[in-house]
A and B are shown apart, each in its own frame.
Chain A
Amino acid sequence: MTRISLTVDGARVSDDVEPRMLLVQYLRERLGKTGTVIGCDTSNCGACTVHLNGTSVKSCNVLAVQADGAEVTTIEGLATDGQLHPVQEAFRECHGLQCGFCTPGMIMQSVDLLNTNPKPTEEEIRLGLEGNLCRCTGYHNIVRAVQQASGQGAPA
């Protein structure tokens, strides 16, 4: 067991964890942050995407011990003071989700994408979301949502 201390969605937490425990398991099983989900075993689907020190990571691809001392933001910590993040708003506005299982990861990745490229083209959005799988939407409305969140309007 290794002692880790970190900040998750603004709250300071500290736990003894097995060295092999994944960050996503720590979030879900120890902290009850079940908004972040597991969709595959091979870091292909991106459903578990969170921000580690402000940058998106697939939390199934990070060990909990690697997050020691870090600041983690999950989908549950994205809204501030009851105000949805603009990307959350845009996903709802543009119907960028159906079953919603990929949505936490998709939103966290989109936020990261816009942090690094505030006015992406459609192609840049599609390439930027390549590591996140969605089976419901066909991506069309997800791309529109990111366009809208970037203030570039959203063509039908």
Chain B
Amino acid sequence: MSTTQERPTDTVEREIGRDRRRKEDQRLITGRTRWTDNINLPGMLHLAMVRSPFAHARIVSIDTSAAKEATNVVDVLTGADLGEALGVNINAWPITPDQVTPTHSPMPSDRVAFAGEIVAVVVARSAAEARDAAELVDVEYDELPAALDLKRAAADEILAHPDLGTNKSAYWVFDSGEAGTGGSVEDAIAKARTDGIVIEREYRQQRLIPAFMEPRSTVVDPTGEQITMWSATQIPHILRFALAATTGVPESKIRVIAPDVGGGFGGKLQTTPEEWITWAVARRLGKPAKYTETRSESLMSGHHGRDQWQKLTLAAEKDGTVTGFKVDLLADLGAYVSLVGGGVPVLGAFMFNSIYKFPAYRFAVQTVLTNKTWTDAYRGAGRPEATYAIERMMDELAAELGVDPLEIREKNWIKHEEFPFTTVAGLEYDSGNYEAATARAKEMLGYDELRAEQRRRRESGDRVQLGIGVSTFTEMCGLAPSRVLGSLDYGAGGWEHASVRMLATGKVEVVTGASAHGQGHETAFSQIVADRLGVAFEDVEVLHGDTQVAPKGLDTYGSRSLVVGGEALVRAADKVIEKAKPIAAHLLEASVDDLEFSGGRFSVRGTDQGMGIGEVALATFAAHNLPDGVEASIDADATFDPEAFNFPHGTHLCAMEVDTETGALTMRKYVCCDDIGNIINPLIVSGQVHGGLVQGIAQALWEEAVYDDAGTLVSGSFVDYLLPTAADTISFEIDHTTSPATTNTLGTKGVGEAGTIASTPAVVNAVVDAVRHLGVNDIQMPCTPERVWRAINGPGAGGSTTEAAMPHFEEGAGA
């Protein structure tokens, strides 16, 4: 008897590589979803937060009496009321031993450090009543000067946290001369100043907001033996650990569930004050409690991304051979050092040299505290900033030499026959073929034709000029080898866990420690297991996102789920086969050595005897006839810790039209050829690439978190924070070359962040390329029509958005 559909490999298509439609979609397209905000429990209370309107202020008093009298208000609590039960929000990555890290109370009782910080929480029987009553909480503030501008904050002009004595949190350096991975960058620059080329630029990585579509929401149920938290999070396992570590509840008494989660992009890679307050309130009152943020609260208090100034010096020989690259960063942490915190720019530290063979390299970052919303990972986390810097600089070098930007790249990049290649940043790139990806991308764009059109438009002085932007990127993903994380002082490891459970009915339950929020793990992981075990795709069920179901895991971020979590799955599946083998041999009355496993079936070599793995599962469940000393289970677990990072790469080409009279931009064409190794599901990959592209393009053209001179977030709603719409964007052409990764058995590379990392410099390079002949060599992001127009018509990169924001209060305008 066979209960599992058997799939002989010679007759059935392999699952890996198929464009399977997603298992997730049925519930998502019919509204049968379980978002955290959908959860309602008997007697559940609703929370509303009272937030500071000031960027920096001492809390003089909080009068909650009127709010407490409001209809159906159960309680109003402040930081002082909750005390130590609140716990703290932690930084998991102190990047230097002497990092200056302000204590981060989820709800401070003495001083607020950014506009939007929570000072009180209202608990009521309905969300509407809680919000109404929040308006009645009377907080008296004594406003303090706020550290807002990153450069001025770095000079300690005004202190974000006066008791710390400085805004400078940590200074982290990688120097290839000191590390022994390359020469001295200062020597290279000195030499280039006398008989070579030195390019010096300063670029701005504006502050962005992840802006996932599902606002964050948390429900805590303190009834029962385990306290359960549902949260719209990317990281249920890390969240559980941090709750235990900071609130005194044993980890074994905490269950964290990430149900359907509506996007993250790094924005839900956090342990938040809102989660901690909901936890504390539910525990104190003994009732389930829910907090769901408004979009404005999300934009104002969920962590932001990017926000760097980059001072860059590139040294080269006269023929364009790069001899050294020096990077000095200022990185804005915001008011607190977040979970990853200064680790974000450090993740970029190994990527500024990108695909190139630079002999000398130095990276230094100063992380800086300010009175703005905290920053942390946003899609790409450190690597988009690095890629932007080097890809802009390579274009500047090409312009200096008057050669094609692809030519200067080819002169410096690692040739395909040189892999594996150890870079000047000390990483070993396992595989890649920059020549092949570039050739394909050029073909897709019609590169030579567009260059010819560009020349014609320039020569004729056309009002609309054409620019072609190049980005030949690589990234490190698959976070992360635990030893490397240890050497960088990160507080945890980078492994992933998986279990494969062979059910008696022929179904296969796969448990992963990765926690999907749109990536399609249920589909792609089913394909991997179906192939490995030779079972039907439909028979595999992927379980995740609940610490009682998936007890071990390190969650989803850093393009890690497939290359780390997928490999854990492969190893668990292989263990299942190994455990099933002696049982199958026993049942087939054959020697283990004579068995082979293929297409879901154990066969005895040289005979027609055999049995499916489902039959073995059923026989193991019954356990009536097992070999002596063999346990009655073929289920298996595996934990995979990668030995190396994973290095997808690709060539992205963008054609932009610039109206030189108005500064208006039109994207004409965008093509990319990404090498992400072997592809499990091309349909899912295409979605990851398209979505990544638009996020990166949006940084180049539209998005910026803007604060006014009082430290108020001006772009605090979707009216003001410019998320692109369908009407703003175009369709893309994407393709792939395949250089399988050698550091996992599937040969896969990460893809979740690739589009975002690659596209930003491709777009800005295209815009600058269109108007370079008009004397422009930079336009600050986002490249608004106004900035483009200013760059064409005057000096500089177009001015700052912040200063262009309306003042919050008119000078002298009395109330």
Interface residue ranges, A against B (CB under 8 Å): 18, 25, 28, 33-42, 44-45, 47, 74-76, 78-79, 84, 88, 91-93, 95, 97-104, 107, 122, 125-127, 129-144, 155-156
A45 adjacent to B213 (CB under 8 Å): yes
Q: Is the CB of B295 within 8 A of A92?
A: no
Determine the distance from Cα of A152 to Cα of B38 in the docked complex, in whole angstroms: 36
Q: Indicate if the CB atoms of B263 and A138 lie closer than 8 Å.
A: no
Contact A100 B725 (CB under 8 A): no
Q: B691 to chain A: which residues have CB within 8 Å? A: 98, 135-138
CB distance from A100 to the nearest CB of B (A): 3
> Is B346 an interface residue, CB under 8 A from the partner?
no
In the complex, given contacts A38-B215, A101-B262, A129-B725, what are 11 additional A-B residue pairs having Cβ atoms less than 8 angstroms apart? Answer: A18-B128, A37-B33, A40-B717, A45-B213, A76-B31, A101-B213, A133-B213, A136-B691, A138-B691, A138-B694, A140-B690
Binary A-proximity of B19-34 (CB < 8 A = 1, otherwise 0): 0011011111111110
B518–A40 CB distance below 8 A: no
User: Shortest Cβ distance from A38 into chain B, in angstroms?
Assistant: 7
* Contacts known (A44-B719, A95-B684, A133-B718); A100 close to B694, Cβ less than 8 A: no
Q: By the criterion CB–CB under 8 Å, are A98 and B687 in contact?
A: yes
> How many Å lie between the Cα of A35 and that of B780 in the bound state?
41
Which residues of B have CB within 8 Å of A138?
A: 690-695, 729, 732, 755
Distance in Å: Cβ of A118 to nearest Cβ of chain B: 18
Instruction: Find out whether the CB atom of A84 lies under 8 angstroms from the CB atom of B211.
Output: no
- Tell which of A38, A45, A144 touches B718, judged by Cβ atoms closer than 8 Å: A45
B726 partner, pick from A84, A92, A130, beta carbons under 8 A = A130
Set of chain A residues within 8 Å of B29, measured between Cβ atoms: 75, 84, 88, 91-92, 97, 100, 103, 107
Alpha-carbon distance A130/B727, docked complex (angstroms): 6
Give CA–CA (A99, B268) in the complex, Å: 13
With known contacts A36-B31, A38-B215, A100-B28, A95–B726 Cβ distance under 8 A: no
User: Shortest beta-carbon distance, A3 to chain B, in Å?
Assistant: 19
Chain B interfacial positions (CB closer than 8 Å to A): 21-22, 24-33, 35, 37-38, 128, 211-215, 260-263, 265, 294-296, 517-520, 683-684, 686-687, 690-695, 717-719, 723, 725-727, 729, 731-732, 755
Q: Could you say which of A40, A100, A102, A156 contacts B24, with CB atoms under 8 Å apart?
A: A100
Q: Least Cβ distance of B282 to chain A in Å?
A: 20
Report, nearest first, the 5 A-B pairs whose CB atoms are least far apart: A35-B31, A99-B518, A101-B262, A100-B28, A138-B694
Q: How far is the CA of A90 from the CA of B30 in the complex (A)?
A: 13
Which of chain B's residues have a CB closer than 8 A to the CB of A141?
Answer: 686-687, 690
Q: Which residue of B lies closest to A142 (CB)?
A: B726
| With contact pairs A37-B214, A138-B732, A141-B686 given, residues A99 and B261 touching in the complex (Cβ less than 8 Å) | yes
Least CB distance, B666 to chain A, in whole angstroms: 13
- A95 touching B22 in the complex, CB below 8 Å, given contacts A133-B723, A135-B691: yes
Contacts of B32 in A (CB 8 A): 35, 76
Q: Say whether B731 contacts A39, CB under 8 Å.
A: no
Cβ 8 A contact of A101, one of B35, B265, B729: B35
Query: In this complex, what residue of A is CB-closest to B683?
Result: A95
Q: Tell me the nearest residue of chain B to A33, going by C-beta.
A: B31
Identity of the chain B residue whose Cβ is nearest the Cβ of A98 in the assembled complex: B518
* Chain A: CB-nearest residue to B267: A135
Residues in A whose Cβ lies below 8 Å from that of B24: 100
Instruction: Give me 25 A-to-B residue pairs in the complex whose CB atoms sit less than 8 angstroms apart, sorted by A's number.
Output: A34-B37, A35-B32, A35-B33, A37-B214, A40-B295, A42-B718, A79-B30, A91-B29, A95-B22, A95-B686, A97-B29, A98-B518, A98-B687, A99-B213, A100-B24, A100-B29, A100-B262, A103-B29, A126-B727, A129-B727, A134-B726, A135-B265, A136-B687, A136-B691, A138-B693
Instruction: Kindly state the separation between the CA atoms of A20 and B683 in the bound complex, as whole angstroms.
Output: 44
Question: Considering the chains assembled together, what is the distance between the CA atoms of A70 and B29 in angstroms?
Answer: 24
Assess the A41–B717 pair: CB atoms within 8 A. yes
CA distance A116 to B788 in the complex (A): 38
- Do the beta carbons of A139 and B729 come within 8 Å of each other? yes
Closest to B292 in A: A38
Residues of A contacting B719 in the complex (Cβ-Cβ under 8 angstroms): 42, 44
Q: Which of A102, A126, A130 has the most CB of B within 10 A?
A: A126
Among B25, B212, B692: residue with most chain A CB under 10 A: B25
Residue of A nearest to B379 (CB): A135
Q: Is the CB of B30 within 8 A of A88?
A: yes
Closest to B729 in A: A139
> Looking across the interface, which residue of chain A has its beta carbon closest to that of B723?
A133
* Beta-carbon contact of A136 and B725 below 8 Å: no
Q: How far is the CB of B258 from chain A (nearest CB, A)?
A: 12
CB–CB B212/A135 < 8 A: yes
With A75-B31, A95-B22, A98-B519 in contact, do A42 and B213 touch (Cβ < 8 Å)?
no
**Chain B residues in 8 Å Cβ range of A93:** 21
A122 to B30, Cβ gap below 8 A? no
- Asked if B30 contacts A132 (CB within 8 A), the reply is no
Residues of A within 8 A of B727 (CB): 126-127, 129-130
- Residue in B closest to A39 when the chains form the complex, CB atoms: B213
| Chain A residues, Cβ within 8 Å of B26 | 92
CA distance A100 to B38 in the complex (A): 14
Of A79, A139, A141, the most chain B CB neighbours within 10 A belong to A139
Q: For residue A42, which residues in chain B have a CB less than 8 angstroms away from its CB?
A: 295, 717-719
Q: Return chain A residues, CB-CB under 8 Å to B687.
A: 95, 98, 136-137, 141
Shortest Cβ gap from A13 to chain B (Å): 17
Chain B residue nearest to A40 (CB atoms) is B295
Neighbouring A residues of B265 by C-beta, 8 Å: 135
B residues in contact with A102, CB < 8 Å: 213
- The smallest beta-carbon distance between A44 and chain B, in angstroms, is 4
Chain A, Cβ-Cβ closest to B25: A92
A133 adjacent to B31 (CB under 8 Å) = no
Interchain CA distance A141-B691 in the complex, whole Å? 10
Residue of chain A at shortest CB distance from B518: A99
Cross-interface CB contact of B33 among A34, A88, A127, A135, cutoff 8 Å:
A34
Give CA–CA (A33, B214) in the complex, Å. 16
Q: Tell whether, in the assembled complex, residue A130 and residue B725 are in contact, meaning their CB atoms are under 8 Å apart.
A: yes
With the chains together, A47 CA to B261 CA distance in Å?
15
B29 to A, closest residue via Cβ: A88
Q: Nearest chain-A residue to B32 (Cβ)?
A: A35
Cβ contacts under 8 Å, B517 to chain A: 99
In the assembled complex, which residues on chain B have CB atoms less than 8 Å from the CB atom of A126?
Answer: 725-727, 729
Q: B213 near A134 (CB under 8 angstroms)?
A: yes
Contacts of B692 in A (CB 8 A): 138
Nearest-neighbour CB distance to chain B for A111, whole angstroms, equals 12
Complex-state Cα separation, A4 to B471, whole angstroms? 58
Expressed in whole angstroms, the minimum distance between the Cβ of B112 and any Cβ of chain A is 22
- Establish whether residues B30 and A75, one from each chain, have CB atoms under 8 Å apart when the complex forms: yes
Query: Which residues on B sit within 8 Å (CB–CB) of A38?
Result: 37, 215
Residue of chain A at shortest CB distance from B26: A92
Q: A34-B33, A44-B718, A92-B21 known; A101 and B263 CB under 8 Å?
A: yes
Q: Do B25 and A140 touch (CB < 8 A)?
A: no
Give the shortest distance, in Å, between B379 (CB) and chain A (any CB): 10
Q: Name the CB-closest residue of B to A85.
A: B29
Chain A residues with CB under 8 Å of B695's CB are: 135, 138
| Chain B residues whose CB sits within 8 angstroms of the CB of A127 once the complex forms | 726-727
Contacting pair B518 A136 (CB below 8 A): yes
Min Cβ gap B671→A in Å is 12
User: How far is the CB of B108 from the nearest CB of chain A, in Å?
Assistant: 26
Partner of A100, one of B260, B718, B729, B755: B260
